[in-house]
Amino acid sequence: SGVMMASVDGFEITIHGRGSHGANPNLAIDPINVGVHIHLALQELIARESDPTKTCVLTIGQFMAGTAANIIPNTAVLRGTIRTNDKKARALLVRRMRETAERTAAVYNATVEIRTLSEVCPLVCDKSVTDDMLRYMGALNIPNFTPYGGISATGSEDFALVAERVPSAMMYLGAGYMDERGQYTAHNPKVVFNEGVLPIGAACMAHCAVEWLKENA
C-alpha cells in the first residue's frame, strides 16, 4: 500500500546552435558542447536540490547529434526521464529541469526547445483494496506461490492514472528464473521470462475479481 511506483515525466531537449566545420569551432555555437553541460547540470538537481528522504531519479537515455566527425552540427537532442515518489519533488524537478536547460544553453549563446514526452503520476495503491487482494490470493492453493505486500520500485506504470481516480491495487507477478536464465533483468535484450507463471497470474486476476464482487456487489 502507499506509493508503489514512481512518477515519470519524459522530456526532450532540442538544443539549437550554429554549425561549422570542425576546423573552425570559433565560428560555431556547438550544441554538443551545450548538451554536455546541460547533462552535467541536470545531475546536480538530484545531488543538491532534491530531498534525500524522497526517491528522485533523473536519467538522460539518449544524446543525438551530428552526422560526421569533422562537422559541428546545428542541433543536438537530449531525451530523458524524471522519476519521483513525491508530488512536491516531482513539481520541483520538472520546473528546474526546464530552467537549467534554458539557462545553461544561454551561457553558451544557444537556445533550447523542450517537449514533454510523458506525464504520469506516482502509482498510489489503496491500502484496503490491497489488503483484500492479498487475502483473496492467499486463499488460493497454488504450489510455491506466496503473495505479499509492501513492494515499491522506481519504475513507473501508467496504471497510476487509473489508481489516481479509483481505489486500486496493483500486482507484480514474478516471472524470473532462479538459475542462469535469471541473470538478466527487464529491458535487457537477453532477458528470459518464465511463461509458466501466466496461468498463475490469470488465476489470481479471475479469483480476485470474483471474490471482490461477492463482498462488494
Report long-range pairs for 199-208 (Cβ below 8 Å, ≥24 apart).
200/142, 200/145, 200/173, 201/171, 201/173, 203/140, 203/142, 204/137, 204/140, 204/147, 204/171, 204/173, 205/171, 207/136, 207/137, 207/139, 207/140, 208/132, 208/133, 208/136, 208/137
Q: What pLDDT score was predicted for residue 153?
A: 86
Ordered strands of the 8-16 beta sheet = 56-65, 75-84, 8-16, 111-120
Q: Kindly list the distances between the CA atom of residue 108 and the CA atoms of 11, 71, 147, 167, in Å, as whole numbers in the listed order.
A: 21, 18, 54, 49
Task: Identify the pLDDT of residue 146.
Answer: 86
For the whole model, what pTM was predicted?
0.85
pLDDT at 1: 63
pLDDT, tens digit, 9 for 90 and up, residues 118-158: 999 999 999 999 999 999 999 998 888 888 888 888 889 99
User: What domains are there in the chain, each with its CATH number?
Assistant: 2-120 (3.30.70.360), 123-216 (no CATH)
**Per-residue confidence (pLDDT) for residue 152, from 0 to 100:** 87
**Residue 177: what pLDDT?**
92
Ranges of residues in the chain with a pLDDT under 50 are: none
pLDDT of residue 44: 97
